[in-house]
Amino acid sequence: MPNLLPDENTMYQALLNKDKSFEGIFFVAVKTTGIFCRPSCTARKPRRENVEFYASTKDALHHGYRPCKVCHPMSFSGEIPKWLNPLLDEISENSDQRLTDWDLRQRGIEPSRVRRWFKKHHGMTFQAYLRSLRINRSVGRIKFGDKVIEAAYESGYESLSGFTESFKKMTGFSPNKSGVKNVITVTRILTPLGPMIAGAIEEGICLLEFADRRMLETQFKRLRKYLQAEIIPGEHAHFEQLNNELQDYFSGKRTTFSVPLVLPGTDFQKKVWAELQTINKGETRSYSEQAKAIGQPEAVRAVARANGDNRIAILIPCHRVIGKNGQLVGYGGGLWRKKYLLQLESRVSLK
């Protein structure tokens, strides 16, 4: 089995820095306490000679270590807590409902706790999240024939003016223009390498990026421009298929993806992205080989830029393109993620 770990000095430095970009890459076990942690654990940092590193929680458990109660390494980073799951299930069943602080307390949930979780993981309050769901559904209703006033009342608004004001604030356009405007629905998907942000429109998935990627805001702006659309958190039919296929990929059960993709971009970018999808799992190419593959051997730098502009990670496997000397270079999600993905695919291809 290939070694999935970075070198130990790098891992120990990541531990000292509480570096979240190494989430899923390694786990650290402390000999003096018998526990193992995430790289980003906030507990007191052990001395270098007192730690061991493992590629998985299974390995740490098999060596006699128990999970840390501070960072909970047995769960995905950013995983939805158990106390919140019933509430999210309820919202999923009826996203048009309004839930006040009193309603949350009646369900045994402290409103401030919910508010903090949504601010941390979605960048908005719980009430703003509910509004975004209602507006998202309203766009679909109006686009497919409902009158604005019908969509307003079905979404729980008591006045048309209140609905119109919230709608314009959320989407940037009036309800009457919903028939000609697009909405990109976004959500978080948990993976062993940390949360990813997925985006979808009616035709398919148009975004899949690691949540901590610096270029994420830029990709949002480009998608708004290309698709003439606004971005709203919510649910979408494509997300379930995407999530299932990603789970199969990380568990080694899938080598290709079938969820539909939407790839707005220049003709050159589309050519590069299409060629990326021909690189088989377990294989790699250099940037110069990619340039030759698209019939433009002189366009190595342009190919590299197009790779960097790819906004659908993993499914369009830009991580399979490496330097001509075999070194790992140029991955927006972080080189350690690139290494993890390549070694995961290599391990699967050997089975």
φ, ψ dihedrals at 321, nearest 5°: -105, 125
Instruction: For residue 81, give the amino acid letter.
Output: P
Whole-angstrom distance between the N-terminal and C-terminal Cα of the chain? 10
Inter-helix orientation angle 126-143/160-171, to 10° = 100
What DSSP string describes 289-309?
HHHHHTT-TT-HHHHHHHHHH
* Host H or E run for residue 159: none
Beta carbons within 8 Å of 283's beta carbon, 6+ residues apart: 320
Which residues does 190 contact at the CB level (< 8 Å), separation at least 6?
76, 77, 78, 79, 80, 196
Can you tell me whether residue 97 is helix, strand or coil?
A: coil
Active site residues: 318
d(CA 251, CA 244): 11
101, 107, 109, 112 alpha-carbon torsion, rounded to 10°: -10
- The one-letter amino acid code at 86 reads P
Distance CA 151, CA 187 (A): 23
Query: Distance from CA of residue 164 to its chain's centroid?
Result: 31
> CA 270 → CA 179, 250, 306, distances in Å?
28, 26, 9
**Which tokens hold the place of 40?**
């980003």
* DSSP notation for 193-238: T--EEEEEETTEEEEEEETT-TTHHHHHHHHHHHHTEEEEE---HH
